[in-house]
Amino acid sequence: MDFLHYQNGHLMAEKIAISELAIQYGTPLYIYSAPYITKQFMAYEQALIHRKHLVCYAVKANSNLSVLSLLVKSGAGFDIVSQGELERVLKAGADPKKVVFSGVAKSTSEIERALSIGIKCFNVESESELYRIDEIARKLGKIASISLRINPDVDAKTHPYISTGLRENKFGISYQLAIDVYRKAKTMANIKIVGIDCHIGSQLTELAPFLDATDRILALVDQLKSDNIDIEHVDLGGGLGVCYDNEQPPAITSLVTELTHKLQNYPDIEILFEPGRSIVANAGLLITKVEYTKHQDNNHFAIVDAGMNDLIRPALYQAWMQVLPEREPQSSDKPYVYNVVGPICESSDVLAYQRELSVNQDDLLVVCSAGAYGFSMASNYNSHPRPAEVMLLDDKQHQIIRQRETFDDLWRGEEVL
């Protein structure tokens, strides 16, 4: 996170003091860097400059309207998995023709809405879904552009909860069934085959799984061509990992260069990518205040005002995220090995285990790399309002992009008997 550094003993984001942001907006608080988001997206764009392509940001990673509108201005397409995400990208100004619709459980109303506005294509994840899309398109007098999401049975070597490319995963159509389903799609009057798609998982830190999956997908492209089924685009998904601790994932340019090299004999095929985490994860911070320190036996706790309701990644899949004190550590400080824990009534409410810190009551801590799957997975568990979100516009300016929820927001829409 190259925009974070200590200056005069205090942590800064660009030239903005973390403590000033906490005072102005309160805690817990999400902070994002607009320049970093733009830089990460443009790394994909620049690596693909010599190919027909579309970079579709995976909205599930961070769906704030300001994040989406920033990417719209950069020319992004969008990968969505619900009508809510569709409505968000439209609100942010996205071109429907740059939207691909993934997800295993598309409802009738979601398909109708997507057809009515003319999205780029549906990434179809089952044969049953294909029949449903064809039926709805026929009733609406539309032609539905589709791409089949193929499960290539490639081990992404990532956490089981974020692995999506094995045959036992719920996502996509089995590699062994792909040709048969494409043949059936070709017979449907209201279906237009435009692409083939795969996405094998998230937080991938090696190139080999991407390359293996691409080889398997291109083998299908060749088989389909022999069946007179022409593929207009190949969607290679997302999933590129980021550095949370000491991971060394491939650079965006390395990934794209390797995969485009695989497609050098397919010059007319458009290449799609669906990155999410690699664009926004290291653009984001979660600022939290230490409410208490607690020392008992050999156990030390920094009890903070952010919990698993604000950031569920550590509790959900044991994610490791760096935690930095707002006050720069000094040699005279007495550190303890803390568990950083939140206010939620669950033993799993731990943001970080066994971190050597020197902190006191009312100090601030910063959880790094919180831009992806942070706020987007936040909840109101234990009736906590969700945090505010702030965008760093440049090295000096910042702007609120989501107001902190109020207590009235907690029961909006509910009724008292």
CATH of the domain at 157: 3.20.20.10
User: What is the structure's pLDDT at 161?
Assistant: 43
The residues carrying an active-site annotation are: 345
**268 and 317 belong to one structural domain:** no
Domain residue limits at 327: 4-32+281-410
**214 and 251 belong to one structural domain:** yes
User: What is the structure's pLDDT at 332?
Assistant: 87
Strand 121-124 relative to strand 99-101, pairing = parallel
**141 and 287 belong to one structural domain:** no
User: What is the structure's pLDDT at 155?
Assistant: 64
User: What is the structure's pLDDT at 171?
Assistant: 73
Q: Measured between alpha carbons, how far is 286 from 387 in angstroms, rounded to an integer?
A: 9
Least confidently predicted of 27-31, 227-231, 244-248, 391-395: 244-248
Residue 145: inside a domain = yes
Q: Kindly tell me if the per-residue pLDDT of 22 is higher than 60.
A: yes
User: What is the structure's pLDDT at 399?
Assistant: 97
List Cβ neighbours of 250 (8 Å cut-off, separation of 6 or more).
205, 206, 207, 240, 258
Residue 246 — very low, low, confident or very high, per pLDDT cuts 50/70/90? confident
Q: Measured between alpha carbons, how far is 106 from 120 in angstroms, rounded to an integer?
A: 16
User: What is the structure's pLDDT at 164?
Assistant: 45
pLDDT tens digits, one per residue of 372-400: 999 999 999 999 999 999 999 998 999 99
Tell me if 288 sits within 8 A of 352, measured CB to CB.
Answer: no
Q: Which helix (H) or strand (E) holds 350?
A: strand 350-357
Chain centroid to Cα 399, Å, comes to 22
DSSP 8-state class, residue 240: B
Average pLDDT over residues 318-331: 94
**376 and 252 belong to one structural domain:** no
Per the structure, the count of domains in the chain is 2
Q: What phi-psi label fits residue 374: left (phi over 0), alpha (psi between -120 and 50 degrees) or beta?
A: alpha
Tell me if 79 sits within 8 A of 238, measured CB to CB.
Answer: yes
Least confidently predicted of 120-134, 142-156, 183-197, 351-365: 142-156
CA atoms within a 13 Å half-sphere pointing along the CA-CB vector of 66: 18
Q: Map tokens 């919180």 to a residue.
A: 370
Q: Measured between alpha carbons, how far is 196 from 221 in angstroms, rounded to an integer?
A: 8
Residue 305 — very low, low, confident or very high, per pLDDT cuts 50/70/90? very high
Q: Measured between alpha carbons, how far is 126 from 182 in angstroms, rounded to an integer?
A: 11
**What are phi and psi for residue 336, nearest 5 degrees?**
-130, 160
Average pLDDT over residues 39-59: 97
**243 and 107 belong to one structural domain:** yes
Residue 73: inside a domain = no
Least confidently predicted of 167-181, 184-198, 254-268, 346-360: 167-181
User: What is the structure's pLDDT at 203?
Assistant: 87
Domain stops at, among 257, 273, 289: 273
Per the prediction, the chain carries an average pLDDT of: 94
**Percent of the chain surpassing pLDDT 70:** 96
Residue 151: inside a domain = yes
Average pLDDT over residues 52-60: 97
**376 and 341 belong to one structural domain:** yes
Residue 52: inside a domain = no
User: What is the structure's pLDDT at 156?
Assistant: 53
**118 and 251 belong to one structural domain:** yes
Q: Measured between alpha carbons, how far is 268 from 332 in angstroms, rounded to an integer?
A: 64
Q: Measured between alpha carbons, how far is 116 from 1 in angstroms, rounded to an integer?
A: 41
Residue (of 246, 297, 272, 341) closest to 120 by Cα position: 272
Least confidently predicted of 45-49, 113-117, 158-162, 221-225: 158-162
Residue 351: inside a domain = yes
**128 and 268 belong to one structural domain:** yes
Q: Kindly tell me if the per-residue pLDDT of 331 is higher than 60.
A: yes
**404 and 257 belong to one structural domain:** no
Domain stops at, among 227, 243, 273: 273
**119 and 208 belong to one structural domain:** yes
Tell me if 66 sits within 8 A of 391, measured CB to CB.
Answer: yes
**226 and 368 belong to one structural domain:** no
Outline where DSSP puts E strands in 8-87: 10-13, 16-17, 29-33, 53-58, 77-80
Domain stops at, among 273, 295, 324: 273
User: What is the structure's pLDDT at 167?
Assistant: 53
Residue 59: inside a domain = no
What number of other Cβ atoms are within 10 A of residue 116's Cβ? 11
pLDDT tens digits, one per residue of 163-205: 444 455 667 899 899 999 999 999 999 999 999 999 888 889 8
Tell me if 118 sits within 8 A of 101, measured CB to CB.
Answer: no
Residue 26: inside a domain = yes
Q: Measured between alpha carbons, how far is 151 from 145 in angstroms, rounded to an integer?
A: 20
Enumerate the β-bridge partners of residue 191.
144
Average pLDDT over residues 110-115: 98
Q: Kindly tell me if the per-residue pLDDT of 23 is higher than 80.
A: yes
Q: Kindly tell me if the per-residue pLDDT of 247 is higher than 90.
A: no
Q: What is the CATH number of the domain that holds 319?
A: 2.40.37.10
pLDDT tens digits, one per residue of 101-111: 999 999 999 99
Chain centroid to Cα 410, Å, comes to 25
User: What is the structure's pLDDT at 78?
Assistant: 98
Q: Which amino acid is it at 217?
A: I
Q: Kindly tell me if the per-residue pLDDT of 162 is higher than 70.
A: no
Residue 343: inside a domain = yes
CA separation, residue 157 to residues 166, 200, 206, 289, 347 (Å): 10, 10, 8, 35, 28
**249 and 134 belong to one structural domain:** yes
Residue (of 185, 117, 190, 106) closest to 148 by Cα position: 185
Q: Measured between alpha carbons, how far is 136 from 56 in angstroms, rounded to an integer?
A: 25
User: What is the structure's pLDDT at 152?
Assistant: 84
